Chain A
Amino acid sequence: MIRLKLDDISKKFGAISALKNVSLEIKAGEVLGLMGDNGAGKSTLVKIIAGNFRPSGGKIQIDDAPADFNKPLDAQRAGIEIVHQSLALCDNLTAASNMFLGRELKRNFGPFKILNYAGMHRQAALHFAELKSETRPKSLVRKMSGGQRQAVAISRALLSDAKIVLLDEPTAAISVRQVAEVLNLIRRLRDRGISVILISHRMPDVFGVADSIAVLRRGQLVAAKPIRDSSPEEVTGLITGAIEQA
């Protein structure tokens, strides 16, 4: 099944074309590595998928049904979750509190509705266990490693039963050991049938975990193919423009 289909997407900012006729498909349980130099249009594409921008032209389909996002919440409702590069975590709160921030579980206590910490901790622990992460629901995010933080951010995306998870440079600012942890997190997402779009600069990470690869250059899609048919050398060439199209 085609989970997400972009058909002829373009985006203009005034006279500038940020994206030109981009068509792309992702299947359920597929990891797509999205690569490109700075200014190639990666973040514009991501923002269109996440509902921040509306495309100037083209169509988006999710599970073969047309999708039209006016705001990020629309995309969220359609099952698209973004894990921002900054991760958007509160250092002073626990892992579980961060996961449930803005959608806390509550229970009745007499006439009051109070937070259901036990329930949140239990659910958070389940998610972390599923991701095989050593993250503890009650630990403060301040005291966590980069990999654990990533697990918290990804778990938050999973909480809403996401179909498509966009990861924006998840391995940019963490140690080598933690990169392996994050790549494992991505594999677990794939195993659950979630489509992952991995936006990254790091060739080894993309080739380590992605099933297919898409390369943008100056707003145009210059390659979209299974990763086994490509190579880091070819992708480098595509990104820089040494190879025109593949």
Chain B
Amino acid sequence: MTSSLEQVIDQSEHKSPFSLLMNHQVFWVFIAATLACITLSIVTDTFATERNLFNVTRNFSFIGIIAIGMTVVIASGGIDLSVGSSVVLSAMILAVVMAAGYSFWVAASLALGATLVVGALNGILIAYVGMPPFVVTLGMLSIARSLAMVLSDNKMIYEFGPDHELILWLGGGKTLGMPHPLIVLAILAVITGLVLKWTAWGQHVFAIGGNEEAAELTGVPVKLKKVTIYMFSAFTAGITGILMVGWLGGVTTNLGQAMELTVIAAAVIGGANLAGGGGTAFGAVVGALLIEVIRNSLILLGISTFWQGAFIGTFIIIAVGFERAQRLRARD
């Protein structure tokens, strides 16, 4: 009797991989993105060209890289509005230092260092001072961009000193036919995915997002973890800033403006739960892909790009609605 009961429970536990897949938001977003790609390849003769695909992959990589950082923040129950400004701060420090004649490595270290400081400040104010993430990072959004303006005197920089060619190659070149930002995205996605699943840090991110009080009571160093989480998100923005300098070949202070919205959209569409406690690195990548494909298709189909915001906004709402529907069903 008991053994048969246990068998029944076992069976109800082990759903088929297919049914698990069907329940997964990331899966549906992936299908949508793939369908959009196929449709565009058939309908337009411009989408499936090497030139266009090269652009799409690179554009989406920038969003994707930060969306991975954002997903971790959102999974921990927070939000980081300062990433767009961290991008420009990182890019501008890199550009100014390189233009002053220093090597790429010195400049990149300083740029990443600065974004890590931004992330640490965010984290400390949120975790130790107890301010809401929305407010802190909104303030940092303003501060970081302003610093970039001060640093550059609001001028465009397009000469990068002795390592000029290196930075252009890093951000704009490709290896084995893959644009470098895409390679960075792939590496970061794999590492983050593994870290989230297989380390205590990853486990604690989800624990804090799921029930912060419980995490605290069970002895998780919640405050310290939060600081590292915001540092990670700022770090992904810093990396993106460096790559964007190389891709664009020049930096202005409007770089990364309003990027945080697209990034948050990518993370949420990819299954990051704004209430905290859920999200995957792979989802962030897929979400970024869908957004970029939509953006690209609007251009190729001759629809005004002004519609872009409406499409992305609709997708965010659908994604959140999807999540909510799942939750309601789980409650029954």
Contact = CB atoms under 8 A, between A and B. Distances in A.
Interface in A104-130: 104, 106, 109, 113-115
A99 B209 CA distance: 17
A202 interface: no
A103 interface: yes
B320 interface: no
B187 to A, nearest CB: 16
Contacts of B9: 134, 136
A156 B220 CA distance: 14
A143 interface: yes
Nearest to B198: A114
B215 A101 contact: yes
A86 B213 contact: yes
Interface stretch (B114-122, B199-207, B237-245): B199-207
A106 B215 CA distance: 18
A12 B40 CA distance: 74
B84 interface: no
Interface residues of A, number: 27
B217 A84 contact: yes
A175 interface: no
A138 interface: yes
A75 to B, nearest CB: 13
Interface string B189-216: 0000000011110011011011101110
A103 B211 CA distance: 17
A17 interface: no
A185 interface: no
B215 A91 contact: no
B200 A104 contact: yes
A88 B218 contact: yes
Contacts of B277: 90-92
A139 interface: yes
A93 B220 CA distance: 14
A213 interface: no
Contact of A89 (B5, B214, B220, B278): B214
B203 A104 contact: yes
A91 B210 contact: yes
Contacts of B211: 88-91
Given A101-B215, A103-B219, A92 B210 contact: yes
B199 to A, nearest CB: 6
A90 B207 contact: yes
Interface in B156-207: 197-200, 203-204, 206-207
Nearest to A87: B214
A103 B204 CA distance: 11
Nearest to A134: B9
Most A CB contacts (10 A, CB to CB) among B209, B210, B214, B277 go to B214
A114 B191 CA distance: 13
Given A104-B203, A136-B9, A88 B219 contact: no
A204 interface: no
Interface in A130-147: 134, 136, 138-139, 142-143
A142 B275 CA distance: 15
Given A91-B210, A115-B200, A138 B217 contact: no
A142 B218 contact: no
Most B CB contacts (10 A, CB to CB) among A90, A103, A113 go to A90
Contacts of B13: 136, 138-139
Contacts of A134: 5, 9
Interface string A91-103: 1110001000111
B200 A90 contact: no
Interface in B55-69: none
6 contacts: A92-B209, A93-B207, A102-B204, A102-B215, A113-B199, A156-B218
Closest CB pairs A-B (n = 7): A90-B210, A92-B277, A102-B219, A88-B214, A92-B210, A114-B198, A102-B218
